[in-house]
């Protein structure tokens, strides 16, 4: 339960074409970094991972660099030292947003009637380059 009632966050790994590769559901009152922990093992062998500010954590950046993956994650506004990231590559994050818009075309997901993990797992997933 969160302040708005029962909520669920969907964390997604998406290929370069915007197709979902891995979907993880977490309670709505958890941070995005916890969702990244569930997806971080799937990123091994990728050139780069693009994520929004919610996934900004030194731990995540370190794990990605150990996997020889370039993190393209802007720093949060409250960081004392700004984080350098590839702004041109970050513009490709629209593919993730487009995937979420496509998911919301399905009425039961958009209205939160059917946000169950078993329904998301029924979606066929392929392996390509990924985005968070």
**Tens digit of each residue's pLDDT (9 = 90 or more) over 94-122:** 998 998 888 877 766 666 556 666 665 55
In a domain, 130, yes or no: no
In a domain, 127, yes or no: no
Mapped onto helix, strand or coil, the DSSP state of residue 26 is strand
- Distance between CA atoms of 96 and 77, rounded to whole angstroms? 22
**Tens digit of each residue's pLDDT (9 = 90 or more) over 24-66:** 888 878 888 888 888 888 888 889 999 999 899 999 999 999 9
Is 73 exposed, middle or buried (CB count within 10 Å of its CB: 0-12, 13-18, 19+)? Answer: buried
Mapped onto helix, strand or coil, the DSSP state of residue 131 is strand
Is the model's pLDDT at 132 over the cut of 60? no
In a domain, 28, yes or no: yes
CA dihedral sign, ordered 29, 55, 102, 23? negative
**Tens digit of each residue's pLDDT (9 = 90 or more) over 76-92:** 999 999 899 999 999 99
- Distance between CA atoms of 116 and 71, rounded to whole angstroms? 30
In a domain, 124, yes or no: no
Answer for the pair 10, 92: CB distance below 8 angstroms, yes or no: no
- Distance between CA atoms of 82 and 3, rounded to whole angstroms? 31
Tell me which residue range forms the domain holding 81.
Answer: 8-118
Residue 69 binned pLDDT confidence (cut-offs 50, 70, 90): very high
Mapped onto helix, strand or coil, the DSSP state of residue 82 is coil
Predicted local confidence at residue 61, as pLDDT: 93
Total number of domains constituting the chain: 1
In a domain, 77, yes or no: yes
Answer for the pair 72, 85: CB distance below 8 angstroms, yes or no: yes
């Amino acid at each position: 339960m969160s302040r708005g009632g029962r909520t669920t966050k969907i964390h997604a790994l998406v290929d370069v074409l915007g197709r979902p590769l891995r979907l993880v559901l977490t309670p709505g009152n958890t941070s995005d970094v916890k969702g990244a922990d569930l997806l971080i093992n799937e990123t091994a062998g990728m050139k780069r991972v693009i994520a929004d500010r919610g996934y900004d954590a030194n731990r995540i950046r370190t794990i990605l660099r150990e996997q020889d993956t370039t993190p393209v994650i802007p720093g949060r506004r409250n960081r004392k030292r700004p984080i350098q990231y590839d702004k041109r590559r970050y513009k490709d994050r629209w593919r993730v947003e487009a995937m979420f818009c496509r998911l919301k075309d399905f009425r039961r997901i958009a209205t939160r009637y059917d946000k169950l993990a078993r329904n998301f797992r029924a979606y066929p997933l392929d392996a390509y380059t990924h985005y968070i």
